[in-house]
Amino acid sequence: MDFQEIKKLIKKVGGIEKVMDFPVPKNFPEFKKIYSEGGNFDEESIILHFTESDIYIKVSGFYSSFSGQHWRENFYQVTPQQKTITIYI
């Protein structure tokens, strides 16, 4: 399954909000949430790894304690890359 097929399937089940709900929709490909940043009245993003097809998708949104999590539907495919940094102590 490629990125476009996963994207169509996400729309078919009702959007990324339905995918992030538990339980995950029936017959949906297995994925793991591997990275998360932000939250609490702030922008938030997560990376989902669809393990069978080795596809990584970045999803953005925000969290509000008043109304909960809101994911945007403009997610996109990303690839893991290593980055070397130098720090001075």
Q: What is the pLDDT of residues 52-69, one digit of tens each?
A: 999 999 988 887 777 777
Residues 6 or more apart whose Cβ sits within 8 Å of residue 66: none
* Confidence at residue 81, expressed as pLDDT on a 0 to 100 scale: 93
pLDDT at res. 88: 96
Instruction: Report mean pLDDT in 10-residue bins for the chain, 89 residues.
Output: 90 82 78 79 84 93 76 87 93
pLDDT of residue 51: 93
Domain borders along the chain are: 3-78
CB 48 within 8 A of CB 34: yes
The tokens 């339905």 sit on which residue?
Answer: 18
